[in-house]
């Protein structure tokens, strides 16, 4: 599995990156090894934190797919404002255990640190903040469901924690569900679509990323199970 990010789009103000699973976005306490910030080097700028220049939102280490980054200080400010105003469209593909009760829905439940396991997020946890995830079931399988999850907010572990909270953890999720499901080495979660209005040109931008091979294989196994 590659750990090199792919540049999907780049102009003088911003870039869109397809991040592979296994690559952490920026340095953090207790982490050693390469980061997305290291790999992109001087492509990134803005934000005031030398450990995470250009970073306006994050993906978990083992979540793959599209990420938006800034290349200038002004771009960082404007992109951060768009995300705060919920104007950046982010959609994920997730394989969840079981079948949600409805084909579409909204999980509206505040998330904070789990009191018993601070590395996890839990509904109503410590310092909980509002969190909303919209979802659509794309395919019902024998024991799982393929869903599109669209973020209204962007809390840490939001998709993972929200689906676990309604009894449908992500397939393969070692923290919120059952590891190794369908042979997965990570949670089945991929940032598949990203859209925004360019803060400088006004152009509507829309990007898509196909499932990487490990998730394609897990989906095929889920479809063939039973």
pLDDT tens for residues 177-221? 999 999 999 999 999 999 999 999 999 999 999 999 999 999 999
- Which two tokens mark 165? 């909270």
Active-site entry in 18, 60, 144, 214: 60
- Give pLDDT, residue 31: 66
Lowest mean pLDDT among 49-53, 92-96, 170-174: 49-53
- Give pLDDT, residue 166: 97
**What number does CATH give the domain 6-224?**
3.30.2350.10
Look up 60 and say whether it is catalytic. Answer: yes
Which residue's structure tokens are 């919209």?
134
Residue ranges of E strands in the chain: 6-10, 14-19, 64-70, 89-97, 104-108, 111-113, 121-123, 126-129, 132-140, 144-151, 189-197, 204-208
pLDDT tens for residues 107-166? 999 999 999 999 999 999 999 999 999 999 999 999 999 999 999 999 999 999 999 999
Rounded average pLDDT over 76-96: 96
- Give pLDDT, residue 175: 95
User: Which H/E stretch holds residue 163?
Assistant: helix 158-165
Q: What is the residue-averaged pLDDT of the chain?
A: 94
What is the pTM (predicted TM-score) of this model? 0.94
Rounded average pLDDT over 51-72: 95
97: phi then psi, degrees, rounded to nearest 5? -75, 135
- Give pLDDT, residue 34: 87
């Amino acid at each position: 599995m590659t750990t090199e990010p792919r540049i999907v789009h780049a102009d003088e103000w911003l870039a869109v990156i397809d991040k592979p699973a296994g690559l952490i976005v920026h340095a953090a306490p207790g982490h050693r090894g390469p980061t997305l910030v290291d790999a992109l080097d001087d492509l990134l700028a803005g934000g005031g934190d030398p450990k995470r220049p250009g970073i306006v939102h994050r993906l978990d280490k083992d979540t793959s797919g599209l990420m938006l980054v800034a290349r200038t200080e002004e771009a960082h400010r404007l992109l951060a404002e768009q995300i705060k105003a919920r104007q950046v469209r982010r959609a994920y593909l997730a394989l969840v255990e079981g079948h949600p009760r409805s084909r579409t829905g909204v999980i509206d439940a505040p998330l904070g640190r789990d009191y018993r396991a601070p590395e996890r997020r839990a509904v109503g946890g410590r310092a909980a903040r509002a969190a909303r995830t919209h979802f659509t079931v794309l395919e019902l399988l024998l024991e799982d469901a393929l869903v599109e999850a669209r973020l209204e907010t962007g809390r840490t572990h939001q998709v993972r924690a929200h689906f676990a909270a309604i009894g449908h953890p992500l397939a393969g999720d070692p923290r919120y569900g059952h590891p190794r499901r369908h042979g997965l080495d990570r949670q089945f979660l991929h940032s598949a679509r990203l859209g925004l209005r360019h803060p400088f040109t006004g152009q509507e931008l829309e990007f898509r990323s196909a499932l990487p091979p490990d998730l394609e294989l897990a989906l095929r196994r889920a479809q063939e199970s039973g």
